[in-house]
Structure 1
Amino acid sequence: MFRPLLKYDYDFMAARRVGRFGFKDSEISKLGGKLKAFNKKHKADKNNPDLSFCRLPYDRDSVKQISKLARRLRRKFKNLVVVGIGGSDLGAKAIYQALAGDFANLKSNRGKNLKVYFTGDTVDPEPMADLLKILNLKETVFYIVSKSGETIEPLSVFLYLRQKVIKKVGYKKHSDHFIITTNFEKGALFEITEKEEYLIAEHYAGGGRFSVLSVNGLLPAACAGFEISDLLAGARAMAKNAKRNNQWKNLPFFFASLQYLAYKKRKQSISVLMPYAYYLRNFAFWFRQLWGESLANEFNLKNKKVNLGLTPIAALGPTDQHSQIQLYNEGPHDKIITFIKVGSFLNNFKVPKYKDSAAIYLAGHKFKEILNIEQRATAVSLMKNKRPNGTIILPELNEYYLGQLFYFFEMAALYLGELLEIDVFNQPGVEQSKKYMYGLLGKEGYEKDKKEINNF
């Protein structure tokens, strides 16, 4: 069955619409000369672990293994709790919310599919206490994800949950309640996993923020009953598009080119993602990490100090029409906005008529129609104020188009890094704060960092 690609409407990004704040066709054509070289480089470097995310859409063997494991877990448990932070859980959260919504865990008719919960992204004790109040630990399996195996938040939460499960089911049975994804070489989590003989699924070779289509995102999705093969099929469709050497037809490259021109030519350093689909809220947070950690570097590939970076904003339409649009319309000309619009929803409701009321104009309009009108009105008002904005259009919100969307942004980040001449897989800026935390918590080898931070 033929399924089209998502679309990107860039009309309001163009100079013919927003004047000097928009792109010119000649600028795209000039950048297009680099596309073939980029694609050739990526193909030649295909065994680079950092680029292993490009191989994930084709990993059908993993789909079979993950599906088999998920079926086993669904027979034995009722709940899955993902314990992770950042790239270890943002993708899985985005998938679950997009496909299950916000209230799936309140339904009693989940069938054999597991209810999926998320923790480990904070050591604030209150959310943990609330989660434990609603979980039956005997019916719960915990999926611990940390590539390094040393990340403080999920490691702390894991150790606490392990103790709670042991008290509930006993030491001999507790290992059945834990599945670990980490590296196979080092780290506290790996050491504990080997000692306790927990089931381990190796973290894929690349970084966490590019891991959504690996076991990190696919196992929770499969446990929830989603078609993970469709997620990868959608990603493959976008991967095929990303192999094109035409700058106007390669959607991720074209999107990256507009972001690059906005940043380098017009000093538009803030990139706003604003879905007009309520259940894509967590997708916007996933995007925020991808953009924020991948596209900010002190040094470029020539080791020249550049301190460049695009600041990502996760917004939501129409909610943030009432909190941010004033800023976007009349504030500094330092932003580009990307909307996400969904063509078809599973449900649609009609506003009923209330006679003799000022609200009579709403009568008969369907919710989807109103949502689309709000998005269109916002886009046009921004354009009229010379604020560049584009719209990604998904035919519908399902596994296939979600897979396309994830891969679209991953490849766009890769292309944008190439254009900016930075390493999108390097993030040294997060390391120093970790060293200070290790020192203050008493980890061996970080005494110097403890002494340094205590001087402030």
Structure 2
Amino acid sequence: MSLKLKSGFEFDYDNLYGEGKVTDADLKSYEADLKRAHEAMKVMREKGFIRAHLSKDGEPEKVLFSQLPYVEEGHLNSPSSMKHLQELTDHVKDNVDVVVSLGIGGSYLGDKVIFDVQCGEFWNSMTKEERGGFPKVYFSGNNIDPQRTYDLIHYLEKAAEVKKCHEGGKLKVLLLVISKSGGTLDTMSNFMVIYDELGKCADIDQEVVAVTDPNMENQTLLKKLAIEKGWPQYAVPDGVGGRFSIFSEVGLTLAACVGFDIQAFLNGAKDMDQACQNEDIWQNPAMLNAALKFAASEKHGRDIEVMMPYGDYMESISMWYIQLLAESLGKQYNREGKEVCYGRTPIVAVGTRDMHSMTQQHQEGRLNKVIQFLKVKNWKHDYKIPNVFPEAKKLADIAGVTMSDALETARQSNADALTGNHRYNATFTLPELNAYHLGELLYMLAMSIAYEGELADVDAFNQPGVEAYKKIMWPRLNELKKEMDR
């Protein structure tokens, strides 16, 4: 059983729904809740309103991520913002040597997804001509790691020496710093160290692009710095939490720096949003996904979700999904203030790599997991396994099979084995790994979370648990600074 869209995107839920799995009776028991959830999604789209949602400051706040796929005047993504992104593309192409993307949470995880799908592991080892004139890209600011920060700075200094010797001129480095407030410890500590150290290097020309809160009336720290220093600015928009921000300039600025097809990405999200407006659960991928996962958790104890893409460059999708699921649904209290301690635990795995490590636990461990596979139907490049060792029968037996067919055989065998031992699993299929289908997938997952928040009666758009450690951390940092200043 599967739900297949005209685009070819497919959600195969045969191993998650039916006898011995999530049943018709399970879904029937949620019929009224699903209807209310669907109506709530309509209100969210039309008015940006989600019941009982408040900002971290306790103020009413709109939820606007569902607006992002629609490029229209007055929207967060508009023709003028697309033009502004094109200006960034035109600036970096054939002009900037290196972009260092500094961000954490969605500001890193979303950007890493775009980079992996567009560029792949060996992008920075290619020549500038092979990269189409686009710069190398490195990530920082997603951890406070002094050793890696040193290594990055040292690498850039050495790269500057090499350029001076072989090409002449300075290494041009663009620091893409992404922080709504400019007070994010992880991001800004790395940014300040890198900015200071590169500024001392005579062979490096550095510039900064700030992606931050655009509010002019109550300017944030990074906004003030950007105005004072004359840095180009892009927006971390209000009403879009970091885990949903890949569709905004938070993700699209990095996309602009590597030649990613932004319009196709947003079109994929828009077409998925259209599909998710269907009130029939069997034709609405997000509602169906949310209902099946919710029922699996609440009625069958499957409260861990393993996101297992089959493809190395999709591991970052799993990493992005971890934040989306954990921050959105891991809530101690429901919207009435009742303690519920709700949430499914997300886990990253990659096929076939983790079939040789984690699958033992998936196959025979506790009956508390749903394994969510992600596969690509048609790969851009493929190889037929050659018969280079005919004397080795076991190797000769796999000769003639394509790598993509071997990958899918492994995935299907894993799914069948799991199903045969009462282990729930499902599969999302992308026709190709490209910007359009990536937009479809990520938007469907985001909308699924919104539906599940309604089913669980928790605010899927706040993150009070993240604020808890910050309230402890900042006073301690202030005390540490006072001790060092004595």
TM-score, with structure 2 as normaliser: 0.86
8 Å contact kept, 2:13–2:425: yes
How far did 1:28 drift? 2.7
Which position in structure 2 is the counterpart of 1:130? 151
Secondary structure (helix, strand or coil) at the match of 1:403 reads: helix
Secondary structure (helix, strand or coil) at the match of 1:344 reads: coil
How far did 1:393 drift? 0.4
For this pair of structures, how many residues does the alignment match?
A: 439
Cα distance in 1 for residues equivalent to 2:176 and 2:237: 15
Which position in structure 2 is the counterpart of 1:155? 188
8 Å contact kept, 2:114–2:260: no
Which position in structure 1 is the counterpart of 2:478? 442
Which position in structure 1 is the counterpart of 2:435? 399
The amino acid that maps onto 1:111 is G
8 Å contact kept, 2:235–2:250: no
8 Å contact kept, 2:183–2:221: yes
8 Å contact kept, 2:45–2:66: no
Cα distance in 2 for residues equivalent to 1:50 and 1:293: 18
The amino acid that maps onto 1:335 is K
Q: Give a deviation string over 1:386-437, Cα, whole Å, max 9, x none.
A: 0010000000000000111110111011101111000011111112221222
Which position in structure 1 is the counterpart of 2:56? none
The amino acid that maps onto 2:476 is L
Q: How does 1:8-157 map to 2 (within 5 A)?
A: 8-16=11-19, 19=20, 22-33=21-32, 34-35=34-35, 36-46=38-48, 50-59=62-71, 60-61=78-79, 62-108=81-127, 109-135=130-156, 136=160, 138-157=171-190
The amino acid that maps onto 2:7 is P
Bigger mean CA offset, 49-58 vs 324-333:
49-58
**Residues 39 and 439 of structure 1, relative CA distance in 2, 3 Å threshold:** closer
Cα distance in 1 for residues equivalent to 2:473 and 2:226: 24
1:221 partnered with 2:221: no
Q: Give a deviation string over 1:336-370, Cα, whole Å, max 9, x none.
A: 11000100111111111122213221111110010
Gap runs ≥5 in structure 2: 51-60, 72-77, 161-169
Cα distance in 1 for residues equivalent to 2:475 and 2:90: 43
Q: How does 1:292-303 map to 2 (within 5 A)?
A: 292-303=326-337
Bigger mean CA offset, 257-266 vs 121-130:
121-130
Q: Give a deviation string over 1:191-247, Cα, whole Å, max 9, x none.
A: 333332322212111111110011111111121011111100100010101111111
8 Å contact kept, 1:89–1:216: no
Provide the identity percentage.
32
How far did 1:102 drift? 0.7
1:389 partnered with 2:408: no
How far did 1:51 drift? 2.2
Secondary structure (helix, strand or coil) at the match of 1:338 reads: strand
Secondary structure (helix, strand or coil) at the match of 2:121 reads: coil
Cα distance in 2 for residues equivalent to 1:227 and 1:443: 47
1:182 partnered with 2:212: yes
Q: How does 1:353-432 map to 2 (within 5 A)?
A: 353=387, 354-357=389-392, 358-432=394-468
Secondary structure (helix, strand or coil) at the match of 2:335 reads: coil
Cα distance in 1 for residues equivalent to 2:41 and 2:229: 44
How far did 1:443 drift? 7.0
The amino acid that maps onto 1:425 is F
**Residues 153 and 237 of structure 1, relative CA distance in 2, 3 Å threshold:** same
Could you say what the CA RMSD is over the residues aligned between the two structures, in angstroms?
2.2
1:168 partnered with 2:196: no
Gap runs ≥5 in structure 1: 451-456
Q: Give a deviation string over 1:176-198, Cα, whole Å, max 9, x none.
A: 61011122335433333333232
TM-score, with structure 1 as normaliser: 0.91
Secondary structure (helix, strand or coil) at the match of 2:247 reads: coil
Which position in structure 2 is the counterpart of 1:453? none
Q: Give a deviation string over 1:287-337, Cα, whole Å, max 9, x none.
A: 001001101111101111111111000110110001111111111111011
8 Å contact kept, 1:6–1:401: yes
Secondary structure (helix, strand or coil) at the match of 1:168 reads: coil
How far did 1:76 drift? 2.6
Cα distance in 2 for residues equivalent to 1:208 and 1:64: 23
